[in-house]
């Protein structure tokens, strides 16, 4: 085969004539001021709010302030080696995190990088951490229960899938314990959990993860950690990252549960960033948009319509109060956004009543419609009974003689309070909760010594599991019909006779 030199030169000439040089344009600025994790960058005229930028030493940052001649960038990571004059490059992207099943069972930072010593997350898909909440038409009412396995909550402050239920109380009153118990109770319930630890000590987070591993809960849980030593920027974006991870499963038709532990520290992180960005401080030095910061996060929780797959995202935000002050700025903000609150009281906690739930101040605004018929039927009067007991208990302190009716109400209340005590990591299936509460509300435990109530409950349920099908019937029907109730009555009465004879 002969090569014709004329043809080669002709082709080369054509290529040269038609060659078009496309310059690789990058918009680059430089740091004019740096301090406390905030870089003021000059030269990024076309930058967008929330855009991701890259420093020439490899760190990433997020634009959070657009000023006349510069932009304010919060550094997402270590910032000590960033100096004035360093170059900063636009990426044209917003902050994104990996999403998908690859995250299940992993411990990651708010950018999706592993913290558990495992391999890198190889997710094929990433999503922005900020996302507009689904509209009203795309949602459906909260009707399906999300059982916590805690009798006091499932009976009186029920949580539905797609609900936002606040857990609020002073420090060391068992707020995280309730959230962790709820995660543990989702085993075999088809609910994927995301636990977001915001500004906690490393030792506390390690204990929580170890407990989730021991109970097998890490098989369906992702833990997002921005601990107390991390920069404020990472603590600020962590709940949004957790919500994005859960949202991906929600939009693929699955049920998810997200715990934000806790939003008080999140608010403090945002206040720190806002003050460093020279935003005008408002009440308690928080910026003016602190309400929007939490509302746009919690509004993302929903139960989607059947057309969108019917998935759900339930949120359990946690707020820490100071000296039981629920009327402080951040607590009132979050109470007004959520669909109810579980209020934990330190006096109950130190008095030995755990979980230390104040039934009078706790409420679930949608949970009643998401309760199983069995528990709804039995526990209907439980809240009233306990409220009357607390009132009479106060009244009884000032009176020496009480009429028999008042005495029996106080006795019933004391036994119900004893029955509702529950140890941590000892969650119960709803059918066992129903049977236990039935025995209390119908007065079967009223004449027992208070110290024997827990032993009676444990013995009754163990015997019922071995010798009858009552629990199976309640679990299958999610209701207690007349026939099952008769069987239940007979069983409790017979068990009590033998129990009393021991």
Kindly tell me the burial class for residue 64, based on how many C-beta atoms sit within 10 Å of its own C-beta (0-12, 13-18, 19 or more): buried
Annotated catalytic residue, options 139, 365, 383, 442: 365
d(CA 62, CA 231) in angstroms, rounded, equals: 13
Q: Residue 195 has which token pair? A: 């636990």
Pairing of the two strands 255-261 and 191-198: parallel
Q: Is 80 left (phi over 0), alpha (psi -120 to 50) or beta?
A: alpha
d(CA 176, CA 55) in angstroms, rounded, equals: 37
Q: What count of residues does the chain have?
A: 502
313 three-class SS: strand
End-to-end Cα, the chain, rounded Å: 108
365: annotated active-site residue = yes
- Of 311, 367, 374, whose CA–CA distance to 341 is shortest? 367
Is residue 480 within 8 Å of 433, Cβ to Cβ? no
Q: Which residues contact 110 (CB under 8 A, 6 or more apart)?
A: 76, 97, 129, 224, 226, 234, 237, 238, 241, 242
Q: How many CB atoms lie within 10 A of CB 23?
A: 5
Q: Residue 329 has which token pair? A: 């700025």
Question: What's the angle, vertex CA 18, arms to CA 15 and CA 24, rounded to 5?
Answer: 100
273 three-class SS: helix
What residues act catalytically?
365
């Amino acid at each position: 085969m002969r090569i014709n030199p004329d043809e080669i030169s002709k082709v080369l000439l054509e290529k040269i004539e038609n060659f078009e040089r496309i310059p690789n344009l990058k918009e680059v600025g430089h740091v004019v001021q740096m301090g406390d994790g905030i870089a003021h960058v000059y030269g990024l005229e076309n930058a967008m709010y929330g855009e991701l930028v890259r420093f020439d030493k490899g760190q990433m940052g997020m634009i959070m302030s657009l000023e006349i001649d510069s932009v304010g960038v919060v550094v997402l990571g270590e910032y000590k080696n960033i100096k004035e004059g360093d170059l900063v490059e636009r990426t044209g992207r917003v902050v994104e995190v990996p999403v998908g099943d690859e995250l299940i069972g992993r411990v990651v930072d708010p950018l999706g990088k592993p913290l558990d010593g495992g391999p890198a997350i190889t997710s094929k898909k990433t999503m922005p951490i900020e996302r507009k909440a689904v509209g009203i038409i795309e949602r459906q009412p909260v009707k399906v229960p999300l059982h916590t396995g805690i009798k006091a909550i499932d009976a009186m402050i029920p949580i539905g899938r797609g609900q936002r239920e606040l857990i609020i109380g002073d420090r060391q009153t068992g707020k995280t314990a309730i959230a962790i118990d709820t995660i543990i109770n989702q085993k075999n319930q088809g609910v994927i959990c995301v636990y977001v630890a915001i500004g906690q000590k490393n030792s506390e987070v390690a204990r929580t993860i170890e407990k989730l591993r021991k109970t097998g809960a890490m098989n369906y849980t992702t833990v997002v950690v921005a601990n107390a030593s991390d920069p404020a920027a990472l603590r600020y974006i962590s709940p949004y990252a957790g919500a994005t991870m859960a949202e991906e499963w929600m939009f693929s038709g699955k049920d998810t549960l997200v715990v934000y532990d806790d939003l008080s520290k999140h608010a403090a992180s945002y206040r720190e960033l806002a003050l460093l960005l020279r935003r005008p401080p408002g009440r308690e030095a928080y910026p003016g948009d602190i309400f929007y910061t939490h509302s746009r996060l919690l509004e993302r929780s929903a139960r989607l319509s059947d057309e969108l797959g019917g998935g759900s995202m339930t949120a359990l935000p946690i707020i820490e109060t100071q000296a039981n002050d629920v009327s402080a700025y951040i607590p009132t903000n979050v109470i007004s956004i959520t669909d109810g609150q579980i209020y934990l009281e330190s006096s109950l906690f130190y008095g030995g009543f755990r979980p230390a739930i104040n039934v009078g101040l706790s409420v679930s605004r949608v949970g009643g419609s998401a309760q199983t018929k069995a528990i709804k039927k039995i526990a209907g009067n439980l809240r009233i009974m306990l409220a009357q007991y607390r009132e009479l208990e106060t009244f009884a302190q000032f009176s020496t003689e009480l009429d028999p009716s008042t005495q029996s109400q106080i006795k019933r209340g004391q036994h119900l309070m004893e029955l509702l005590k529950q140890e941590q990591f000892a969650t119960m299936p709803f059918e066992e909760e129903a049977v236990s509460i039935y025995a209390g509300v119908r007065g079967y435990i009223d004449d027992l010594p208070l110290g024997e109530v827990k032993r009676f409950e444990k013995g009754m349920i163990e015997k019922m599991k071995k010798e009858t099908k009552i629990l199976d019937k309640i679990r299958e029907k999610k209701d207690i019909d007349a026939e099952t109730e008769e069987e239940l009555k007979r069983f409790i009465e017979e068990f009590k006779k033998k129990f009393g004879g021991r």
